[in-house]
Amino acid sequence: MSSAWFEKAAPSFLDHLSSIRDHQVFVLYNADVDGFVASYFIHRAVPSDVRLKSRAVWNYEFDFAWLLPMFSSAPTSNLICVDIPIIQEPEVLHVLTQRHSILIYDHHVVPARSGINLEGVFYFNSRLYSGEESSQPASAFAAGIAAQAVRLRQNDFGILALGLIGDHSLGMYPDLVENLRKFSKEPIDPLNPWNSWLGRWSSKINAAFRAHPSVQPERMEETLIHAADNGSLSETLERFSEQFSLDDAVHLVDADVKRGLKIFESHSRVSLICRVLDLSTFSVGIVASLLATNGFATVICLGFRTGSRIQFELRRADSTHVDLTQLLTRQRKYFTPITSGGHPVAAGALINASDEESFCTSLRRAFLELEGEPHGPDSRRDSP
Ligand SMILES: [Mn+2]
């Protein structure tokens, strides 16, 4: 890890890490394979005498309202947040900084309303820097930090690859792709790694989080660290998979994805799909991605009901350049979500379930507006 963006952030991040003494450290990470691998590397980087706890954060928890009751009476601690857009909640951060120090690494698009300059918050986001690759997955950042704190083992490189594949970014790291040859003779196509053995492991870990929404895995990072100390990468992942029943998770998610896709079987192509699906796993993002890949619509927005709320996951067709974060920003002219944002190609929005209809109506309106503009969604489709 030697890119300019990393060199700017790493020294102060490492300073903060090494100054942690006699404190509890909480790691909050996005409940997907990139977030989990980032948490794994934070666990590797933090000295072993520091007490570490971690919590997975699902996309439908991105309002962070649950965080205050959790930490208001907790002893002073250090919060390390990876792969979650907590910066969009300056009020929550402000309250937390009264008693806790906060380190954040994220690569979601930085929202206009954010606590970037908040005292007591050390914030780094690769998107604040231009440069060839402004979106650096959290797993890449955390692995870079770990590499400066401890000596990485061969297995760590395979585990890092799982996180990068999860965020479609393996191709950005040719040295790592080269290194992966040591694990297996089966070549991994960095631009399409999903069908490789590592790609399948990456999906399995994602499935663990999708299959059981809001169920916190117990000591997942420690288990993986221990397994990786005592065997080859495939032995490590097999052992890990058994302990966390990853195959069962994959079955649950696959069945739900199939049910989701069936709804659209006889659908004709439209420009925008906005709809809530009745699924029990948090798999609407996969269904939306598959529909987008198969050209069912320019923008697919599918909702997952959780309590009195709905989390929408947005994906776009390969043939369009619509920036989903811009679409959601435009929508705010007509509708106020609890929270929304993400990445240009994959984004999300959290709303109250009672607002379902106005959410879809306003999204359609914003989409049509963007489409009608000279630099709208499809205007660059035919350019070279
Ligand atoms: Mn990520």
Enumerate domains of the chain plus CATH numbers.
4-244 (3.90.1640.30), 256-372 (3.10.310.30)
Q: What is the pLDDT of residue 379?
A: 41
71, amino acid identity: F
Distance 139 CA to ligand 1 centre (A): 7
Q: What is the pLDDT of residue 270?
A: 87
Average pLDDT, the chain: 90
264 compared with 112, residue with greater pLDDT: 264
Distance 106 CA to ligand 1 centre (A): 7
Distance 195 CA to ligand 1 centre (A): 20
Distance 343 CA to ligand 1 centre (A): 9
Coil, strand or helix at 329: helix
Cα 215 from chain centroid (whole Å): 17
Task: Band the pLDDT of 132: cuts 50, 70, 90.
Answer: low
Task: Band the pLDDT of 293: cuts 50, 70, 90.
Answer: very high
Q: What is the pLDDT of residue 360?
A: 98
Distance 169 CA to ligand 1 centre (A): 10
Give the full edge-to-edge strand order of the sheet including 121-125: 51-57, 24-30, 77-82, 101-106, 121-125
Please, are residues 107 and 127 in contact by the beta-carbon 8 Å criterion?
yes
74 compared with 240, residue with greater pLDDT: 240
What is the Cα–Cα distance from 46 to 209, expressed in whole angstroms? 24
Q: What is the pLDDT of residue 310?
A: 98
Of 163, 156, 161, 298, the C-alpha closest to 227 is: 156
Q: What is the pLDDT of residue 113?
A: 78
Distance 120 CA to ligand 1 centre (A): 24
What is the Cα–Cα distance from 313 to 178, expressed in whole angstroms? 34
Q: What is the pLDDT of residue 20?
A: 76
Neighbours of ion ligand 1 (CB under 5 A): 34, 83, 137-138, 167
Task: Band the pLDDT of 144: cuts 50, 70, 90.
Answer: very high
- Whether 314 shows a pLDDT value over 80: the answer reads yes
Distance 265 CA to ligand 1 centre (A): 30
Q: What is the pLDDT of residue 287?
A: 97
Q: What is the pLDDT of residue 192?
A: 86
Q: Compute CA distances 104 → 82, 174, 221, 239, whole Å.
A: 6, 26, 19, 31
Give the full edge-to-edge strand order of the sheet including 297-306: 270-277, 297-306, 309-316, 346-352, 339-342
Burial of 134 (0-12, 13-18, 19+ CB in 10 A): middle
- Whether 73 shows a pLDDT value over 80: the answer reads no
The pLDDT of 215-227, averaged and rounded, is 96
Handedness of CA 262, 268, 271, 273 (dihedral sign): negative
